[in-house]
Homo-oligomer: A and B are copies of this chain.
Amino acid sequence: MIVIKDVARRAGVSVGTVSNVINSPERVGEDTRRRVEAAIAELGYVRNVHARQLRVGHSRILGLLVLDMGNPFFVDVARAAERAAHRAGLGVMVCTSNQSASEEEEYLALFAEQRVRGVLLTPADGSGRTVEAFGRHGIPFVLVDRVGAGGAGCSVSVDDVAGGTLAVGHLTAAGHRRIAYVSGPPHLQQIRDRRAGALAALAEAGIGAEALIELPTETLDVAAGRDAASRLLGLSQRPTAVFCANDLIALGVLQTLFAAGVGVPQDMAIVGYDDIEFAAAAAVPLTSVRQPAAAMGRLAAELLLEELAGESGAHEHRQVVLQPELVVRRSSLVRRGANGGPL
């Protein structure tokens, strides 16, 4: 392996000069610089970031930990964050916790070992214990899709209570009086907030909380939606609408309902969450609560970059909360009897 010393020898200069050519070329004379650059090219020298980081004390990599890269929502977040980081000359290491607190812990430990410059994460652990533990390493972090607890760092999130209200308010306005909530794993704050929003919408419509039939699932993917729909079909008093914690689940629900001959939206309305690209292309285009995924990723990265750039103390932690938006499509088209009493 070629090291800086080999380049120095080849160019007939000291290692310090080679380092200067790489890191601050303006300090080096015109012709020496060209000689060194030629030597680098000829030998195919690539500098060792580990040696560099050991000396300078920090790397040029950001850690990004999301719940599930199988969900296009998080892919959008990750891409936007990566673009923003790249603009600032930083690389991003993307990892997936699979909504497991233990995997989250494992990856955060990896980030700490790597001495990443900063971390963007969507916590899987509802208790906030792993995040708190990570905070002790002194590595700056920004919470994504989750409001920060206690102001230990910045956060960018979307108002999930408002989102839940938007979704269920839309359904009650269309006359639905029994609504299922396919909720995903209840240890996630997002899930709990969306339920709170849903209940608020029911209350506002003067409907009791028992009208919300909760169907929790282990995961947040299409398979979970299929499974939940089977359970839904088995209920004695079948609801007339389903609110799904995300679009993957909604697509799974849609598939199973379709296979069972249940008409959407006539027999069962569906509202999803996230408004992923595939929601619009579904068998029945999905009504969904749109989250500004790209904006969230970009803002999170920018907040982190700001914190990194600011001389110590100059940065003040902020909690940014974005607003969701309801996108109405065919899966929840207003039924006959809308705005009327019970059907």
Contacts and interface: CB of A to CB of B under 8 A. Distances in A.
Interface size class of A (residues with CB under 8 A): 35 or more
Interface of A: 1, 44, 46-51, 53-54, 59, 69-70, 72, 75-76, 78-79, 82, 91, 93-94, 96, 109-110, 112-115, 136-138, 222, 251-252, 254-255, 277-278, 280-285
A297 B72 CA distance: 19
Contact of A281 (B48, B114, B136, B254): B254
Pairs A-B, 3 closest by C-beta atoms: A50-B50, A278-B278, A50-B53
Given A69-B78, A251-B278, A255-B280, 20 more contacts: A46-B113, A47-B113, A48-B113, A49-B50, A49-B115, A50-B54, A50-B59, A50-B114, A50-B115, A69-B94, A70-B75, A79-B96, A91-B110, A93-B93, A222-B277, A252-B281, A281-B283, A282-B283, A283-B283, A283-B285
Contacts of A281: 222, 251-252, 254-255, 278, 282-283
Contacts of A278: 251, 278, 281
Contacts of A59: 50
A231 to B, nearest CB: 19
